[in-house]
Amino acid sequence: MADDSRTQKQHTIGSYAAIGDSFTEGVGDPGPDGTFVGWADRLAVLLADRLPAPDASTNPDETRHGNFRYANLAVRGRLLDQIVEEQIPRAKELAPDLVSFCAGGNDIIRPGTDPDDLADRYEKAVAELTEAVGTVMITTGFDTRGVPVLRHMRGKIATYNVHLRAIADRYRCPVLDLWSLRSVQDRRAWDADRLHLSPEGHTRVALRAAQVLGHDVPTDPDQPWPPQAQRSTFDEGRDNIQWAREYLVPWIGRRLRGESSGDHVEAKRPDLLPL
């Protein structure tokens, strides 16, 4: 699959709303106040830095990013239909210059999910958004070949990704292609739960997203990771057992009980506010 992530024409973005699930909320990238940061928050800062600095003579209280406004409507655990019902109407109401739309990951991992049907529902949402906002950036799924729980779902994810790229072509949307971002195949790009990105992983995705939108970035998001010592089979096995006990068993338990990690969680930034 070709990577066309650097072909978009750069234009000024003064407002940005992110919609999605735990990936866009920023799970795995905790901030100093206990809330999650994540790639979307980091992208917002990169975009704000591209705006001209406010004129201090006309408004001395204006912050460096005072002209840029950002909302993050994403909530962990949300399925596509929940995102369409809860977040898209708000995004349309806010009508920002840019919306990033990442959804379907939690649906794909459910047994029996049809990626063709999922993509049809996703396309209807894209059609709604493109009529109400400036630009819709579509986000594909990761290549899960290195994720123990999700490795066997790689074919379904790839099929869904092909649909997403076709939808992007039809609606002229930029594509944040995470499948082609090789650097996130490294274990260090992932949190201890192996299901969410680490702070460095979120940073690399934010840099790639800025490239997608036509901006130069200070660091190549696909630059190689530093070398690390080879781990023994024993150490790997011990870590896998610890991971299964601490993360896999509770994750399976929540699914069996019909619970979501996002139950009783609200969007962390529901309004377009200055950074």
DSSP string over 85-144: HHTHHHHHHH--SEEEE---HHHHTSTT--HHHHHHHHHHHHHHHHTTSSEEEEEPPPP-
Mean per-residue pLDDT for 82-96?
A: 97
| Residue 42: C-alpha distances to residues 37, 119, 150, 204, 275 (Å) | 7, 28, 26, 10, 11
pLDDT over 60 at 57, yes or no: no
The string of pLDDT tens digits covering residues 10-56 is 568 999 999 999 999 999 999 998 899 999 999 999 999 988 766 65
pLDDT over 90 at 141, yes or no: yes
Diameter over CA atoms, the chain: 64
Q: Which residue has the higher pLDDT, 231 or 270?
A: 270
The string of pLDDT tens digits covering residues 146-203 is 877 788 899 999 999 999 999 999 999 999 999 999 999 999 999 988 889 999 999 9
Q: What band does 59 get if pLDDT is binned at 50, 70 and 90?
A: low
Taking the C-alpha atoms of residue 208 and residue 222, their distance in angstroms, rounded to an integer, is 8
pLDDT over 80 at 271, yes or no: yes
- The per-residue pLDDT for 15 is 97
- Encoded tokens for 216: 């130069």
